[in-house]
Amino acid sequence: MAKPLITFDASLSGQFSNSYCDLAFANDYFANHYLSTVADTWAALDTAPAQRLLISACRVIETARFTNYVRPTDYAFFYDYITGAVRQLAERTEPIRLFNTQNLQFPRNVDIDTTTGASFIPTSIMQAQCEQAIYLLSYDGAAVSSRMQGISSEAVSLGKGQLHASTVYVGEGSAFAPMALEYCRPYFLKGGMRMRRA
């Protein structure tokens, strides 16, 4: 049996992490899903396909902007060599990646449990990943391709012996599942969902 090219990695702040949540979280989320058909669909998946869906869903969510960029010239931030975390000099709450070596945008420096001091990924982001994963199962590639290019509708009509084609564009496109988008919305930075047409 061939080894998969991409290994599922849900480690917190990992350098090679490709999923916010592990399979146990996703299984629990779908076991308690409000739509029984969704719960049944997820339960029918084997481990490998479920992990691949979670990885793909995480990639889609990572296209949005949840963190600010730390530039070498930005002296408001510094690298703590003892803990490995990126710290802020001032009392600023700009969301940045907690560790400059982590692959994903979460956890951020603002995602810290105030009682334990432990970092975490917000539950809403993990739920968004689950919703995005199940959405990918019913993915209409043609419709999504158009949507990502900013096309909301295309029509061809016949009038006065001629064919007329029209395309209506929207300001931005997205591959986000509707529920995933709602779960992620509170964490977007300004302009975090703006995607331009090619």
pLDDT digits (tens, 9 = 90+) for 100-147: 889 999 999 889 898 998 999 999 999 999 999 999 988 765 555 555
User: Residue 107: is the preceding peptide bond cis (ω within 30°)?
Assistant: yes
How is the chain split among helix, strand and coil, in percent rounded to 5?
35, 15, 55
User: What is the widest separation between alpha-carbon atoms in the chain?
Assistant: 75
β-strand partners of 85? 99
Residues of the chain with pLDDT under 70: 1-5, 70-82, 87-93, 140-174, 191-198
Predicted pLDDT at 198:
37
Predicted pLDDT at 17:
96
β-strand partners of 127? none
pTM of the model: 0.73
Predicted pLDDT at 195:
43
Predicted pLDDT at 145:
59
For every residue of 136-162, DSSP letters joined together read HHT--HHHHHHHHTTEEEEEEEEETTE
Predicted pLDDT at 135:
94
For every residue of 21-55, DSSP letters joined together read S-HHHHHHHHHT-S-HHHHHHHHTS-HHHHHHHHH
Pairing mode of beta strands 151-159, 86-88: unpaired
Predicted pLDDT at 175:
79
Predicted pLDDT at 176:
87
Predicted pLDDT at 196:
39
* Token pair belonging to 41: 């669909």
Q: Which long-range contacts (CB under 8 A, 24 or more apart) does 14-18 make?
A: 14/102, 14/103, 14/104, 15/101, 15/102, 15/103, 16/103, 17/102, 17/103, 17/104, 18/55, 18/58, 18/59, 18/103, 18/104
Locate all alpha helices (DSSP H) within 62-157, ordered by sequence: 123-137, 141-148
Query: Hey, CA dihedral for 89, 93, 95, 99, is it positive or negative?
Result: positive
